[in-house]
Amino acid sequence: MISKKIQDAFNDQVAAEFYSAYLYLSMASYLESIDLPGFANWMRIQYQEEVSHGMKLFDYVIERDGRAIVKAFDAPPSEWDSILNVFEASYVHEQKVTGLINDLMDIAIEEKDHASQIFLQWFVNEQVEEEASVKAIVQQLKLLGDSKGGLFQIDRELGRRVFTPPASSE
């Protein structure tokens, strides 16, 4: 059985993951509006990943005989100043999510909930990957500067990204 403290913290994280999904969907819409379908595709894949993360947490609460509560969250922004600004905002957001996951791990440790600690380890590792992925795109965008050809190449590359759901055994 999951403790009320961990259940409440996980339910908060479910809302945070769905906010992340909507943020990335909003970013995809912005990128589509400036005719960058590859960048938009990358963000749509991020949206799918965040939904799967939210559902993974939601299902875990239920599996532990807890009550998963769907919570409201504020609407994400819908406008950015540039492509670089979009990805810098994404990077800052992923750093915030890393902090939230670390806070969940701290609660699981405090509550001596070993199952939740093991479960959360996947998210700890995932956040390392998430931050590195976005940071790499930020660095590429900074390096290319005003190069339209470079932007076109990155757009094509990001357009090839596909969603791979996490394995159920993770």
| CATH value at residue 17 | 1.20.1260.10
User: Is 11 among the domain residues?
Assistant: yes
CB-based contacts of 132-137 (< 8 A; 24+ apart in sequence):
134/87, 134/90, 134/91, 134/94, 135/91, 137/42, 137/87
Residue 84 lies in a domain: yes
- pLDDT score, position 168: 62
Q: Are residues 7 and 116 in contact, defined by beta-carbon separation less than 8 angstroms? A: no
Contacts of 47 (CB under 8 A, 6+ apart): 21, 22, 24, 25, 28
Output the tens digit of pLDDT for each of the chain's 170 residues.
Answer: 899 999 999 999 999 999 999 999 999 999 999 999 999 999 999 999 999 999 999 999 999 999 999 999 999 999 999 999 999 999 999 999 999 999 999 999 999 999 999 999 999 999 999 999 999 999 999 999 889 999 999 999 999 999 998 876 44
Q: Which structure tokens are listed for 128?
A: 């390392």
Give me the domain span that covers residue 126.
Answer: 4-158
pTM of the prediction?
0.94
Q: Does residue 32 lie in a domain region? A: yes
The number of domains in the chain is: 1
Residue 170 domain-assigned (yes or no): no
Count helices and strands (H / E) in the chain: 5, 0
Helix (H, G, I), strand (E, B) or coil at 35: coil
What pLDDT is attached to residue 150? 93
Q: Does some domain include residue 165?
A: no
Q: What is the distance between the alpha carbons of residues 15 and 25, in angstroms, rounded to a whole number? A: 15
Cα atoms found within 13 Å of the Cα of residue 4, Cβ hemisphere only: 0
Token pair 């959360």 is found at 120
